[in-house]
Amino acid sequence: MTDPIQNTRILLASRPDGEPTADNFRIEHVPVPEPAEGEVLLRTIYLSLDPYMRGRMNDAKSYAAPVELGAVMEGGTVAEVVESRDPSLVPGDIVLSHLGWQAYGVLPAGQVRKLDPSRAPVSTAVGVLGMPGFTAYAGLLEIGRPQPGETVVVAAAAGPVGSAVGQIARIKGARAVGIAGGAQKVAWLEELGFDVALDHRSPTFKDDLKAAVPDGIDVYFENVGGHVWDAVLPRLNTYARVPVCGLVAHYNDTELPPGPDRAPRLMQTILTKSLTVRGFIQNEFVKTHYKAFQADAAGWIADGSLRHKEDIVQGLENAPEAFFGMLKGKNFGKLLVQVGDDPTR
Amino acid sequence: MTDPIQNTRILLASRPDGEPTADNFRIEHVPVPEPAEGEVLLRTIYLSLDPYMRGRMNDAKSYAAPVELGAVMEGGTVAEVVESRDPSLVPGDIVLSHLGWQAYGVLPAGQVRKLDPSRAPVSTAVGVLGMPGFTAYAGLLEIGRPQPGETVVVAAAAGPVGSAVGQIARIKGARAVGIAGGAQKVAWLEELGFDVALDHRSPTFKDDLKAAVPDGIDVYFENVGGHVWDAVLPRLNTYARVPVCGLVAHYNDTELPPGPDRAPRLMQTILTKSLTVRGFIQNEFVKTHYKAFQADAAGWIADGSLRHKEDIVQGLENAPEAFFGMLKGKNFGKLLVQVGDDPTR
């Protein structure tokens, strides 16, 4: 009997009060359990870092249960099968899995999906061909429903969701206006073919946006909130659609404005412009749209109309810092942590 | 040549600052113009008073242009043809029209719709069989989409829109919870068959609502805003739908909360509960749903499942006071001003 493999894992040590810090996490080294019948032992290659994880650190009721204190932080992973006790998988197989922030893990074989490295780089399974790409696809097409010639505005446009939203909008014949932070991201959006790319840090941002949407905004894909939303709201057209996918500008808010939720200004705008404001999580659309997404996205990637960028940080121990940076918009492209070697590259 | 008929009309004299007052209106007596070829001279029987009129008094951009200063206040009317210069109508015909706050008016025959007094009381053309009824029908069924067994909550439930919303919800197999102001209205809602009726003036209202919706709220038909919305929001279920039809609690607001529109609390609730918040005006659905509404509503009225109440004020000169009262919820049922005799009663 061999010695058990040593695992490194990052646990949620305490709940953040506002901006999360290194103190909220704890790193530990423990032996990996043996897989039981029907299970596989996995070695993490890539850990996906995504804004939703900030919500999981809170003890608040949301669409998913919070991560418990002392538990491994949650997260999607691309991993290699090290040992299999299920006939469906063999060592060396690469799988999409949800191991969380750890270097190894054991899962039932039924909870992982085998990837074909010859079809696309395996890292895209947590990016443009995975949850972020699907979020863009389902939210834009099912809620935003852009028509040819309409104007689609997306915030956090250089992120994995936003960049897909803008490109899919253009594929569907709409104008795409992307909003991002900093000249480098703006330049990349222009390279991707966005009709206009704007820097929300510019002192003239509000006027820039107004000038960029002479016919108003028909779809605003909301990833951000904050001052971008303030600038967008007066520009929305009658019957505009607002898929609400994220509000990263508010995830670290400790003080919400005092008083109740009634939001009379926003509600009056919703009323007088016949707006549709619709929150969503991609899970809702998996059954109905995931197959079509896989087919469409593969085609668009193949013909060059859907491009993506990855921002890869080396080493699991650097995951917390990378995560903090992402909440401030410091990543440029899909943020991944390379936890172990990628045998397919 | 006979002397021209003297008209009485109520004009918008000034724009209100907050709550409207008698000073905002001016009454005048002028001769009625002769109808030209293709026009009809009409005598107003009923003037409909509706909350949307408050918005028309402002000089703000909304879904419809404001009433101009010095112009006749806008409003739907049921009127009798006095003189016709169009072959489609003869004196004595009763028509649905949009004469506004006046005793007589001249309109092109193509802008009025002839009513059949044998089919339903003619006053219902501006009530349960007219704009308010259709608002309830379209907003509830197209946006709210209640499923059998779901819980529908409606505010201003004793009003012409709200009472129809609750009854149609029940017709569709949903539970209906109505919210109104005062014991008399609550008793009437119970008589109409609402599963629960609540008084929003009760000091225990928030808890009463919680107890009334043990399975949460799937559809909230928003007519009101204010403290009712505050109580509803925490009770909304995942995937709840909120048709936003009106915000009468805010129509006289002079001071909105300071700061921008971003409403992070509301937006976070929309996000985490995957809510659909959708403003609408019934016009949007006329082409697609008006025929079905007419047929459905006539059937439901005939079989007793859709009932209504009218609150009729006598005399055009009393329209302003009745209108002020309506904005405070003082009317009980569809508010009408009887401007002239109803030959069909």
Contacts of B259 in chain A (CB under 8 A): 257
Contacts of B244 in chain A (CB under 8 A): 267, 270-271
* pLDDT for the residue A65: 82
The number of helices, as runs of H, and strands, as runs of E, in chain B is: 9, 15
Contacts of B62 in chain A (CB under 8 A): 272
Cα separation of A161 and A126, whole Å? 11
Query: B6-127+308-338 adopts what CATH topology?
Result: Quinone Oxidoreductase; Chain A, domain 1 (3.90.180)
Residues of A near B (Cβ–Cβ under 8 Å) read 55, 61-63, 222, 225-227, 229-230, 233, 238-239, 244-247, 250, 253, 256-257, 259-281, 284
With respect to CATH, is domain B132-293 assigned 3.30.420.40? Answer: no
Is B6-127+308-338's fold the same as B132-293's? no
Cα separation of A208 and A201, whole Å? 11
Cα separation of A221 and A244, whole Å? 6
Cα separation of B53 and B137, whole Å? 21
Residues of chain A with pLDDT under 50: none
Q: Which two tokens stand for residue A335?
A: 């943020």
Residues in CB range of B238: below 8 A, 6 or more apart: A63, B273, B274
Quote the distance between the C-alpha of residue A68 and its chain's center.
22
Which of B63, B266, B280 lies nearest to residue A263, judging by beta carbons? B266
Whole-complex ipTM = 0.89
* pLDDT for the residue A100: 97
Count interface pairs A-B at CB distance under 8 A. 140
Distance from CA of A242 to the nearest CA of B (A): 10
Question: Domain segments of chain B: what residues?
Answer: 6-127+308-338, 132-293
Residues of chain B with pLDDT under 50: none
Pick among 1.10.760.10, 3.40.50.720, 3.30.470.20, 3.30.428.10: CATH of A131-301: 3.40.50.720
A33-86 pLDDT per residue, tens: 899 999 999 999 999 999 899 989 998 766 678 999 999 999 999 999 999 999
A147-193 pLDDT per residue, tens: 999 999 999 999 999 999 999 999 999 999 999 999 999 999 999 99
Cα separation of A234 and A229, whole Å? 9
* pLDDT for the residue A119: 87
Q: Which two tokens stand for residue B192?
A: 């109409």
Contact B230 A256 (CB under 8 A): no
The number of helices, as runs of H, and strands, as runs of E, in chain A is: 9, 15
Contacts of B268 in chain A (CB under 8 A): 247, 250
CB B343 within 8 A of CB B121: no
Sign of the C-alpha dihedral, residues B23, B27, B33, B35?
positive
Beta strands of chain A (E only): which ranges?
Answer: 6-12, 25-31, 39-48, 77-84, 94-97, 104-108, 113-114, 151-154, 175-180, 196-199, 217-221, 236-244, 276-279, 310-314, 334-338
Contact A55 B272 (CB under 8 A): yes
Cα separation of B211 and B133, whole Å? 29
DSSP letters spanning A107-122: EEGGG-EE--TTTS-G
Cα separation of B228 and B250, whole Å? 12
Cα separation of B152 and A83, whole Å? 53
Distance from CA of B283 to the nearest CA of A (A): 11
- Our CA angle for B18, B19, B20, nearest 5°, is 110
Which of A230, A239, A245 lies nearest to residue B261, judging by beta carbons? A230
Which of B222, B259, B278 lies nearest to residue A276, judging by beta carbons? B278
Contacts of A55 in chain B (CB under 8 A): 272
DSSP letters spanning B79-119: EEEEEE-STT--TT-EEEE---SBSEEEEEGGG-EE--TTT
Q: Which two tokens stand for residue B223?
A: 């007519």
Contact A250 B230 (CB under 8 A): no
CB B39 within 8 A of CB B106: yes
